[in-house]
Amino acid sequence: MELIFFSTAFVCGFILQQCKLPPLIGFLAAGFLLNLAGYGTTDLLENIASLGVTLLLFTIGLKLRVGNLTKVHVWAPASLHIIISSALISAFILFMATLKLPLFSELSLENSLLLGFAFSFSSTVFAVKVLEQRGEMNSLHGKVSIGILIMQDIFAVIFLAISTGKVPNIWAFGLLVLLPLMRPFFYWLFSRSKHGELLPLFGFFFALLVGYQAFEFSGLKGDLGALIVGMLFAPHNKAKELAKSLLTFKDLMLVGFFLTIGLNAELTFEALFIALLFVAILPIKVLLYYALTNLFKLRARTSLLGSCSLANYSEFGLIVCALAASSGWISGQWLAVMAIAVSITFIIASPLNSHANEIYVKFEKFLLKFETLKRLPEELPVNVGDRKILIFGMGRIGTGAYEAIAQSYPDLVAGIDISPESVQKHKQLGRFALLADATDPDFWQRINHSKVEMVMLAMPKHIQNILALEQLQAANFQGKVSAIANYPDQQKELNKMGVSSTYNFYLEAGTGFAEHVKSEVFQKKGND
């Protein structure tokens, strides 16, 4: 059975990818097609989906610092949004009830508040997938979006604990005290797991056993446990490597999650019609995100990109509706309504996120009217001074390029990255590093690039380098551009767009290694 499920998912995902849409839309479509063909979900598929969500939250935790959640521009918009949007959506439901529409007429005030709460969430799974695909997890709008989503997840977990009567038991306090005390031992295990197949197994062990199962045993939500344990390992220098080692497993299992959405939906024209009504009011929810993040000093572009990544309904809404339906608080058909609404908003939000920068450029003058006068430190104007060479992306390749150039021209090169932690690390090492986003149209308007002669695009995601190149061209940059790529077809795409030179990391790494060995050998012979 699962072979049919995943084969259908592959075919649908492949077709959607050829149409330049994210494959996850194809996975959702596969679920609905299988549902119409008479298939239903299985225990194995549900377990795979649950495992995917658990691994997702664990990997989110690996990239998250507690300090990000305590920032006012994260927790304040998240808290205000869930209160205001719940109230607005509840009012909409009560208004529909006065019109005697099917399903709405049977709802009380309490039921409408419950559904308003369920529809107020945005999807963590979708946002992380979109941000990862675009390489924007470390951008400010990515961090704000993920912070808001985690705050929402916490609210959802609290609601589920209260509504199910599931309260922490005596072991919960001991667990929360023991975890920080055990961290030095956990870190020792982490370091000793090295780089092979033991590393992802380490991730599975801590996400599923120490995180999920231990928290469930303590009367706490298992998914929340996976998130917290992931955050426990976030400061470790191997956290990123662990997240990468789990990437393929997580992505494969999340296919199961997207399939279950369609397979669990009880498709009727009535449910489809009501779901479309909720899709129609989604812009109100998105505008509220934009207004609240603007209110707390985020720039117009940051607020817009963050709001676009949150422009959907959530899998947590499905969980809340499933609980309410099983408890007899609402009709089971509302679960189908939520599933259809989630799926449609995923389909809408995918191209919306793909074209978010274009939307910002088109409506920039209008959006700037809503900016506050004060800026967050992360969004202050960037000054590159007299630097003539800019390197975007200060990872291993960017850092290597910086060091090679700085040996001859130390005052002419600048490293630029979207990660505050990365920039701070490079500054401590004495490098000229700046915090900025190369894909941000405003960045190229805020700096004087007339003195810049060379831009090197060394960002890890190909789409980031493409978007940055588009912004360079839009800003009428007259210097040379060099970029890295992972595959020959990516090199061809960059060359067609006017890049002066490309560097295939995988292909040319061996050449660089050989040159290094030859220089060592010849130097040794010369010494002899």
Q: Are residues 152 and 103 in the same domain?
A: yes
Same domain, yes or no: 313 and 434: no
Residue 376 lies in a domain: no
Which residue from 197, 141, 240, 198 is spatially nearest to 460, judged by alpha carbons? 240
Tell me what pLDDT residue 528 has. 54
Sheet holding 454-457, edge to edge: 433-435, 413-417, 389-392, 454-457, 480-485, 501-504
Residue at 279 is within a domain: yes
Residue 252 lies in a domain: yes
* pLDDT above 50 (res 398): yes
Is the domain of 396 the same as that of 337?
no
How many domains is the chain partitioned into structurally?
2
Find which of 35-44, 58-67, 381-390 is predicted with most confidence, using mean pLDDT. 35-44
* Per-residue confidence (pLDDT) for residue 516, from 0 to 100: 47
318 and 411 in a single domain? The answer is no
Residue where a domain stops, chosen among 318, 342, 368:
368
Boundary residue ending a domain (323, 343, 368): 368
- Specify the pLDDT at position 8: 93
User: Does residue 37 have a pLDDT over 60?
Assistant: yes
Is residue 374 in some structural domain? no
For residues 479 and 508, state if they share a domain: yes
Please state, rounded to an integer, the average pLDDT across all residues of the chain.
84
H helix intervals, 99-169: 109-119, 124-133, 140-163
Asked if residues 49 and 67 have their Cβ atoms less than 8 Å apart, the reply is no
Q: Residues 470-503: pLDDT tens digits?
A: 888 877 888 889 998 888 888 899 999 988 888 8
406 & 360 share domain: no
Regarding whether 243 and 164 lie in a shared domain, the answer is yes
Q: Is residue 320 part of a domain?
A: yes
**Domain coverage including residue 37:** 2-368
Q: What is the CATH number of the domain that holds 93?
A: 1.20.1530.20
Share of the chain above pLDDT 90, in %: 24
The domain boundary residue, chosen from 368, 392, 417: 368
Q: Which residue has the higher pLDDT, 428 or 1?
A: 428
How deeply is 188 buried, as exposed, middle or buried, from its count of CB atoms within 10 A (0-12, 13-18, 19+)? exposed
The span from the CA of 219 to the CA of 36, in Å, is: 38
Please check whether residue 110 lies inside any domain of the structure.
yes
For residues 149 and 228, membership in a common domain is answered with yes
Q: Which whole number is the average pLDDT over 419-425?
A: 88
- Count Cβ neighbours within 10 Å for each residue of 96-122 and write b for 16 or more, e otherwise: bbeeeeebbeebeeebbbbbbbbbbbb
Q: Output 465 or 373, whichever has higher pLDDT.
A: 465
Distance between CA atoms of 437 and 417, rounded to whole angstroms? 7
Same domain flag for 176 and 322: yes
pLDDT of residue 358: 86
Q: Any idea what the CATH number is for the domain that residue 407 is in?
A: 3.40.50.720
Say whether both 23 and 123 belong to one domain: yes
**What band does 62 get if pLDDT is binned at 50, 70 and 90?**
confident
Q: Does any domain span residue 373?
A: no
Confidence (pLDDT) at 509: 57
DSSP 438: T
| 375 domain-assigned | no
Question: What does the pLDDT average to over 321-348?
Answer: 83
Percent of the chain with pLDDT over 70: 91
133 and 250 together in one domain: yes
Mean pLDDT in residue range 355-362: 86
For residues 496 and 359, membership in a common domain is answered with: no
| pLDDT tens-digit readout, 258-275 | 888 788 767 788 888 999
Q: Categorize the per-residue pLDDT at 88 as very low, low, confident or very high, splitting at 50, 70 and 90.
A: very high
Place of tokens 């817009």: 304
Residue 160 pLDDT exceeds 80: no
The arithmetic mean of pLDDT across residues 93-98, rounded, is 93
